[in-house]
Amino acid sequence: MATTALFFVFAGLAIACAISMVYHKNPLYSAISLIGVFVSLSVLYVTLAAPFIAAVQILIYAGAIMVLVVFVIMLLNMEEDKPLNRLRYLYAIGGGLGLILLVQTFFVFYAVMRAPKQAVNTEETIGKTMSIGTAMYTEYLLPVEIVGILLLMAIIGGVILVRKLSQPQMESMVERELERRHEGEDKDDYRIAL
Amino acid sequence: MEPSLASYLALSGILFTIGAVGVIFKRNAIGMFMCIELMLNAVNLTFVAFSRYYADVTGQLFVFMVMSVAAAEAAVGLGIIISFFRNRVSVDVDDASILKN
Amino acid sequence: MNTILLQNLVNPNVNLPIVLPEMIVALTGVIVMLYDSFVPRQRSVTGAISLIGLAISAFFLVSMWNDAPQTGWNGMIASDGLRLSFTIVFLLVSAVTILISSVWADNEDVPIGEYHALLLFATFGMMFMASGNDLVIIFLGLETLSIATYVMAGLRRGDLKSNESAMKYFILGSFASAFLLYGMALIYGATGSTNITEIALKVANPNFPALLLVGGAMMIVGFGFKVATVPFHVWTPDVYEGAPTPVTAFMAVGSKSAAFASFLRVFVLGFPLIAGVQASEFLHESWVTALSVMAILTMTVGNIAAILQDNVKRMLAYSSIAHAGYAMVGFIGAGMAKNMQQRDAAIAAVAFYMLTYAVTNLGAFAIVTLLGQKNDRRTAFEDYNGIGFRAPALAFTLSLFMLSLLGLPLTAGFMGKVMVFRPALEANNLLLTVMVIAAAVNTAISAYYYLRLIVVMFFRERTTDWLAPRIPTALTAALLITVLGVLYFGIFSDGVIEKFSKSSVGTVFKAGTRP
């Protein structure tokens, strides 16, 4: 009973926050809505008896990734999106894709409803930290090590992309920027983000 | 009455759809990135739901891997977006048209 | 408080020898990073360390060559014909890319130590895509490769085109990864396992047959993007044109081969045809038909679009799309194989095609890098006017590569195409035969733009001044390797094919038997 209530409340909240995220033009509002989605999903993981994943979801997604995103939004001083002057066909593609995926969702829902039900064992302790920890260091040792290398590489990549430009690179960039603008025309607009 | 497996799958499908449509309609790179994160979360929900159904820890371990990958991708992706911004004043995706479409 | 008794733990089945090649590549990456942190910007030293690491890894790989197919790490890693043949291709690609990048490092201000490390980690990811027998490993390998490539594409930080290319690649690549992951989730749901061999067994009586289909479709979308088949190819020309040319070479050859390896592993070995089971038959027929249609479209669109291009890098990008279409022909032939020998022969054919495609494309991109000058300023067709007789070595080599891409006999490209069309013809299926005919027609059409480059080089007048560039040693080495490769694989291909035709892990159920 409690599970059902929780499911419907937080599922509704997740969908509402997701739609709000897509709808808002201001990137900061989108980011906050996305945090709302993450928190609702975390509660849903708890109803699915996965407490470790619920905690990690809050820690990593809401706590690390979204903080980074908000940081970057603030750093880049992003403004609201301007009204769309996009090519028409993009609307058609987006609408078509959305329709196909919705149909697919209903298909999956219908197929799973019709299949014979297997009783869910409510005593299982799969979601507990101990069982996840055990699995991580026995069956899933290799993926964990690969993730280690992946994270190392992401750090290296992130740093070399964002490091201050060295003098020759900066000079060539300035050179090219000057070439791009007509001489004397855009002198007042001359801004290069450093 | 517990919410069945099918309800969780339906929810995750709807979230995935919203994310996919969002990627196409959003104009700014950070917005697109956030919609992709939404899609990945929808997939995570699917995995955890099946993991509960099968009483198998594989699904939840996979979710953990996906989260690590998403974190790495966020770091690199935001780095790329900052690098993109450094050379121009806006992150308006429609300005990215030097390379012909 | 729960306690764990030691004997209740599952044996992790740590099997270091089986992943030794990958570990060596990762270790070399770490060593390169460490060295670079103490003594920055030593192009030759970090390049040499990387090449030595790749060579040692290749040595250990070759020493595994004659072992029977085996799995390790609880079935997560498979060491079989598919893995060995594709991994050799990856190591070769990586080594030649390092040689080609020396030109780039000389002319521009590139953080070369980190670049080499990223390249090595990307190779690490590629190798796991080939050896992974579990959806988790394949996904992690794919993401390692992709993230490294996103960074490398944007490495020319002062260049707007490079930034744009990295951003487009990142957004579209992550979008496709999400689709792929959703497919993996549904397959896990339908079969209850992420291990490819177990999935192949479970296809006989899946828990949710409908989810198999949906999952398969999503995975085709995800993999289709990475392999750049139509309709998921739109990112390729822009990204390839904007990225620095050595990175384009790596993406065009390395990423594509790795995506093919895991695509093969999941679909041919994971979704076999089990006669008598309706779910399996329907699934098999669906994916074969879908991929056949995609292959025909890919070849056609790639070739026709390439005809219209004025920029050599974009032309090579569309040409690579078309080549992916040809490779799909072999892929589908492997899917329709009737017994294990045919299937293994078809997998070997696709690996061989990737090898010949790698050698040819790397050589072509090497010359484009050299002639493109700083920041790839000179990559339009006009910039190649009349250089034929002023730099004969370069021009003749480039012509050789164009002819090999076209598929002239005696070149590697020809043997690759022959090998790859054969399994499709042996299947005796109408759709497949139509596909092979389309491939032959497309090869004829592609002659236009390959020969156009040769004509432009030798028979057009040049209006501007041009000095033949000095060819650096590393690039000479790269060109030598690729030219030798093109000629060797064109003439002596049998030995290589035989080496590649080892059996793969996983069983195919013959028509008429049930598991």
pLDDT tens track for A57-75: 999 999 999 999 999 999 8
pLDDT level of residue B4 (50, 70, 90 thresholds)? confident
Interface residue C136 vs chain B (CB under 8 A): yes
The reply to whether B27 falls in a domain is yes
Q: What value does the mean pLDDT of chain C take?
A: 88
Determine which of A22, A66, A99 to mutate to test the interface with B (most B C-beta atoms within 10 Å): A22
With respect to residue B71, please indicate whether it lies within any of the assigned structural domains: yes
- Full residue range of the structural domain in which residue A109 is found: 1-118
Residue A162 lies in a domain: no
Q: How far is CA A32 from CA A27, A163, B11, C85, C117, in A?
A: 9, 28, 20, 48, 36
At A114 the three-state DSSP class reads helix
The boundaries of the domain holding residue B25 are 5-95
In a domain, B15, yes or no: yes
C22-38 burial, b at 16+ Cβ within 10 Å, e below that, comes to bbbbbebbebbbebbee
Q: Minimum mean pLDDT among C118-127, C279-288, C472-481, C489-498: which range?
A: C489-498
Residue A112 has its nearest CB partner, among C118, C154, C208, at: C208
DSSP secondary-structure letter at C232? S
Residue B46 within a domain: yes
Determine the pLDDT at residue A162.
87
- Judge whether B10 lies within some domain: yes
User: Is A50 inside any structural domain?
Assistant: yes
B59 with C168: Cβ contact below 8 A: no
Distance, in Å, from the CA atom of B98 to the CA atom of C376, rounded to the nearest integer, reads 15
Question: How many Å lie between the alpha carbon of B95 and the closest alpha carbon of chain A?
Answer: 11
E strands present in chain A: none
C507: pLDDT confidence band, cut at 50, 70 and 90? low
Instruction: Note whether residue A77 is domain-resident.
Output: yes
| Closest CA–CA distance from residue A134 to any residue of chain C (Å) | 7
Which residue, B47, B18, B46, is CA-closest to B34?
B18
| pLDDT above 70: residue C4 | no
CB distance from B75 to chain A under 8 Å?
Answer: yes
Q: What part of C 248-277 touches A (C-beta under 8 Å)?
A: none
- Look over chain A and give the mean of its residue pLDDT values, rounded to a whole number: 84
DSSP state at residue C76: T
Touching subunits for chain A (3+ Cβ pairs under 8 A):
B, C
Phi-psi region of A70 (alpha: psi -120 to 50; beta: other; left: phi over 0): alpha
Query: Which residue in the set C139, C184, C242 is minimally distant from B99, CB to CB?
Result: C242
Q: Which residues in chain C have their CB less than 8 angstroms from residue A157's CB? A: 118, 147-148, 150-151
Q: How many residues does chain C have?
A: 515
For residue C302, the one-letter residue type is G
Q: Which residues of C touch A104 (CB under 8 A)?
A: 214
Contact C215, C320 (CB under 8 A): no
Give pLDDT, residue A174: 67
Taking CB atoms and an 8 Å cut-off, how many pairs form between chains B and C? 112
pLDDT single digits (tens) A77-117: 877 766 666 677 888 889 999 999 999 999 999 999 887 77
Q: How far does the CA of residue B1 sit from the closest CA of chain C (Å)?
A: 22
Using an 8 Å CB-CB cutoff, list chain B residues near A132.
57, 60-61, 64
CATH number of the domain enclosing B55: 1.10.287.3510
- Cross-chain Cβ contact A158/B75 below 8 Å: yes
Distance CA A114, CA A108 (A): 10
> Which residue, C359, C390, C373, is CA-closest to C478?
C359
* C144–A149 C-beta distance less than 8 A: yes
Mean local confidence (pLDDT), A5-13: 94
Q: Let me know if residue A37 belongs to a domain.
A: yes
DSSP label at A60? I
Q: Report the CATH number that the domain containing residue A4 is assigned in CATH.
A: 1.20.120.1200
Instruction: Answer whether C151 touches A (CB < 8 Å).
Output: yes
Report ipTM (2 d.p.). Answer: 0.90
Rg value, chain A, Cα: 24
The listed range with the strongest mean pLDDT (A152-156, A178-182, C100-104) is: A152-156
- Sequence-distant (6+) residues with CB within 8 A of C412 are C355, C356, C359, C360, C404, C485, C486, C487, C488, C489, C490, C493
Q: Which residues of B touch C163 (CB under 8 A)?
A: 80, 83-84, 87
Q: Percent of chain C scored above 70 by pLDDT?
A: 96
Residue with tokens 């979601």: A127
Sort A28 into a burial class: Cβ within 10 Å, 0-12 / 13-18 / 19+: middle
What's the predicted TM-score (pTM) here? 0.92
Return the bridge partners of C380, or none. C311
Residue B90 has pLDDT above 50, yes or no: no
Domains contained in chain B, number = 1
The pLDDT confidence band at residue C323, using thresholds 50, 70 and 90, is: very high
* CB C52, CB C147: distance < 8 Å: no
Contact A156 C109 (CB under 8 A): no
Helices (H), C308-339: 312-335
Residue A111 lies in a domain: yes
Interchain contact, B83 vs C163, CB within 8 Å: yes
Q: Percent of chain C having pLDDT more than 90?
A: 48
- Find the helix or strand (DSSP H, E) in which B58 lies: helix B58-86
Confidence at B49, pLDDT banded by 50, 70, 90: very high
Quote the tokens at residue C254.
Answer: 């390395």
Residue in A24, A25, A53 to test binding to B, most B beta-carbons within 10 Å: A53
Residues of C with Cβ-Cβ distance to A111 under 8 angstroms: 208-211
Strand partners, C134: C195
C188 touches chain B (CB under 8 A): yes
Contact C182, B16 (CB under 8 A): yes
pLDDT tens for each residue of C175-195: 999 999 999 999 999 998 999
- Work out how many domains chain A is built from and give that number: 1
Beta carbons of A126 and B51 less than 8 Å apart: yes
CB contact under 8 A, A97 and B71: no
Tell whether A177 is covered by a domain: no
Burial of A3 (0-12, 13-18, 19+ CB in 10 A): middle
C72 by DSSP, 3-state: which? strand
3-state helix, strand, coil in chain A (%, to 5): 75, 0, 25
**Of C326, C331, C195, C318, nearest in space to C260 by CA:** C331
pLDDT tens digit string along C411-459? Answer: 888 888 888 888 888 878 888 888 899 998 999 899 888 998 888 888 8
C296, pLDDT greater than 60: yes
